[in-house]
Chains A and B, each alone.
Chain A
């Protein structure tokens, strides 16, 4: 649900990065934070544990500037990936405009990705939302690691909707911007 303020001429969208624990969601935001110029980003907030695991969410506000007289802003959130933080994940999805699912390509995380996608669908349902109705892209992260599932296997198991997908190595910034750009454009198109 974007907020459109005609008086201050601002429009704000909310993008949520979803996926398994340690899949690279926070890394995506950190890379974006580090590469975007200071005048186009706000402060990045991480509500994390002492072990640097996301406890509630990470938050990064971005301002793409004035478009046809409207200040256009994107707010990026991650959810905590660990299974037992589902209550928090559900809260973060409130009012979402677009979703990036960050899948961990490693073979040993194959089933975790499927569980996380199922969890996403369940939580969306609680907000009366369907994945088909929301701008949604997939990112297959960690493609540089040796023991990874094939794209074909990943596509069959977690992308039955055949939404756009991107291969990524988030730690090196590969695929991060392509993913964000794709979901952002999808959000603009559905306005």
Chain B
């Protein structure tokens, strides 16, 4: 069964953010977003003040998923990169370990060529971090159980009851 939670602990989270910040600096991009394939935002760096990150994550994952299906229709496994060009801002999307979507938002302060070159190192770094995260998923189960214990469940249920009053 492929059901599992994606737990990201503190050290891994900071390693991810550091890798993203290095890429942000070396490319001079506007912002970087990391989204899981189900559409949930993992983290972001850079200037995202005017971006609805939750919506963006959901749509980026849908974009990538729909384009992957187009790839299948012409005999490709998936398109490993997507590029959307706008008047002022552009989006470049690539995939990490076939499971995590890396989005670069950039404007006129940089260019696609530079991003393509710089992102290779960052993807390699992120792959290493996520391999480590995925390898720990089973051994993390007890910590997940401990965090989301009966007290948590009761409190969350009570919040749900209040929400729908």
Residues on A facing B (Cβ under 8 Å) = 1-8, 11-12, 14, 35-36, 40, 42-43, 45, 47, 56-57, 59, 61-62, 64-65, 67-68, 70, 72, 75, 77, 87-88, 91-92, 94-96, 127-130, 133-134, 177, 180-181, 184-185, 188-189, 191
Contacts and interface: CB of A to CB of B under 8 A. Distances in A.
Interface residues on chain B, size class: 35 or more
Interface of B: 1-10, 13-14, 36-43, 52, 54-55, 58-59, 61-62, 65-66, 69, 144-145, 147-148, 151-153, 155-157, 159-161, 163-164
Contact of B42 (A3, A68, A77, A177): A3
Nearest to B161: A181
B7 A64 contact: no
Contacts of B6: 1-4
A67 B159 contact: yes
Contact of A64 (B1, B13, B163): B163
B156 A91 contact: no
B13 A5 contact: yes
A42 B55 contact: yes
B157 A43 contact: no
Contacts of A127: 2
A70 B61 CA distance: 24
A43 B58 contact: no
Nearest to A91: B65
A175 to B, nearest CB: 12
Contact of B13 (A7, A36, A96): A7
Contacts of A2: 5-6
Contacts of B36: 1, 3, 95
A92 B66 CA distance: 10
B2 to A, nearest CB: 4
The 5 A-B residue pairs with the shortest CB-CB distance, nearest first, are: A95-B38, A7-B13, A177-B164, A128-B2, A91-B65
A72 B58 contact: no
B37 A70 contact: no
Contacts of A3: 5-6, 8, 36, 38, 40, 42
26 contacts: A1-B5, A1-B38, A3-B8, A4-B6, A4-B147, A5-B8, A6-B147, A7-B14, A8-B43, A45-B55, A45-B59, A57-B62, A59-B55, A61-B54, A64-B156, A65-B159, A67-B155, A70-B152, A75-B39, A88-B66, A91-B62, A129-B3, A184-B160, A185-B160, A188-B148, A188-B157
Given A68-B152, A181-B164, A188-B153, A75 B40 contact: yes
Nearest to B143: A6
A37 B151 CA distance: 25
A25 to B, nearest CB: 16
Nearest to B151: A68
B98 to A, nearest CB: 12
